[in-house]
Amino acid sequence: MKRIDLNYQDYIGQGENSDLLVSVVEFDRKFDSYFNIEYQKVEQAITNTDESTYQGIEDSALSTSYLDYFQMYTDISQGESLVDLGAGYCRGTLLFNALGDKRCISVEREALRSRAAVLKCENDILIADLLDENFRIPLAENYFIYLPVDKVLYSIFKKIIGQKIEANFYVIESHGDLIDFFQFHKELFVEQEFNIKTSLPRHRPFIYKFKSKIVSNEKISNLTIDNLSLWHLYNNDKDIDLKISSTIPGSKLTREWRSSIKGSHLIRYNNRLCLSLENPSRIIDFGNGDQILSIIKKD
Ligand SMILES: C[S@@+](CC[C@H](N)C(=O)[O-])C[C@H]1O[C@@H](n2cnc3c(N)ncnc32)[C@H](O)[C@@H]1O
């Protein structure tokens, strides 16, 4: 298999065309079976109930189409590598290995999912937990991320900063907030022009491309809330309360309140970066006059 069959090239980037969905899924299943992936059987055998494993969800939602791995394969330069962070069935590694010239290294926690790929390309599969503080991301020119915004992604971002990784990141939207999250972290990622569409329907029908920048040690050791995205990345799991002043809607009055930073996340609201707090459930919109008055460390 030195190329994707020409007939199938018509499906590339057609994720918004619902008439083609069945054909793309069929195409991917054909490739899965060519690589000895038994999706249903494996999903039934997975016992890990952790939400981020997505055990048992549809193959077209869990996995990226081979056609989109092919689009990344085509974009990266000869001799370069791609690292798939949270690789599922390691479709990227299987495809790159079959096409040759470029390498795709898969990092996946769920060993059962990667079993078929391990039998074919053992050297390109790492069974590892991206949450493990001691795990170092393999260095490469390119990375691929199709994950939700949660603690796994936070851990990946901290590793990118800690390991000073300067590389391309291909990203496909998962739940609607992943691309925003990359765009918020302007000190870490610069968005690249890349008008490539996905072949399966996704929240946003594009493969996005970002370039990571090195963040200085000084910036990390002197983090302030003025740099909200980085500050939040390093503090969201700490025992910290925020004292906040908010304008009461429809009046000029303000009110002060206190909230824990735990469970909070960054969101796009009113078309700008805001902080969504869990307890109490509120959005802090700095563009609308909300302010953080102080940071109270509880330990
Ligand atoms: C949405 S799937 C994406 C799979 C693949 N990248 C693709 O696009 O086809 C995310 C994968 O990340 C894996 N994952 C979740 N948490 C992980 C962790 N802490 N370490 C390594 N892999 C993880 C899950 O098991 C799942 O297979």
From 152, 158, 170, the mutation candidate for ligand 1 (largest count of ligand atoms within 8 A of CB) is 152
Q: Which two tokens stand for residue 96?
A: 């790159």
Q: 129 in ligand 1 pocket by Cβ < 6 Å?
A: yes
Distance between Cα 198 and ligand 1 center (Å): 18
Determine the Cα–Cα distance for residues 14 and 20; give it in Å rounded to an integer.
Answer: 7
CATH of domain 6-212: 3.40.50.150
Determine the Cα–Cα distance for residues 85 and 48; give it in Å rounded to an integer.
Answer: 18
| Gap between the terminal Cα atoms of the chain | 59
Domain range list for the chain: 6-212, 237-297
**Could you tell me which of 292, 290, 202 has the C-alpha nearest to residue 248?**
290
Taking CA atoms only, the protein residue closest to ligand 1 atom 27 is: 88
pTM of the model: 0.95
Taking CA atoms only, the protein residue closest to ligand 1 atom 6 is: 87
CA dist 28 → 3, 43, 204, 223, 233 (Å): 15, 17, 20, 45, 36
Q: 168 in ligand 1 pocket by Cβ < 6 Å?
A: no
Per-residue pLDDT of the chain (299 residues; tens, 9 = 90+): 445 565 778 899 999 998 889 999 999 999 999 999 999 999 999 999 888 999 989 999 999 999 999 999 999 999 999 999 999 999 999 999 999 999 999 999 999 999 999 999 999 999 999 999 999 999 999 999 999 999 999 999 999 999 999 999 999 999 999 999 999 999 999 999 998 999 999 999 999 999 999 999 999 999 998 899 999 999 999 999 999 998 887 787 889 999 999 989 999 999 999 999 988 899 999 888 899 999 998 76
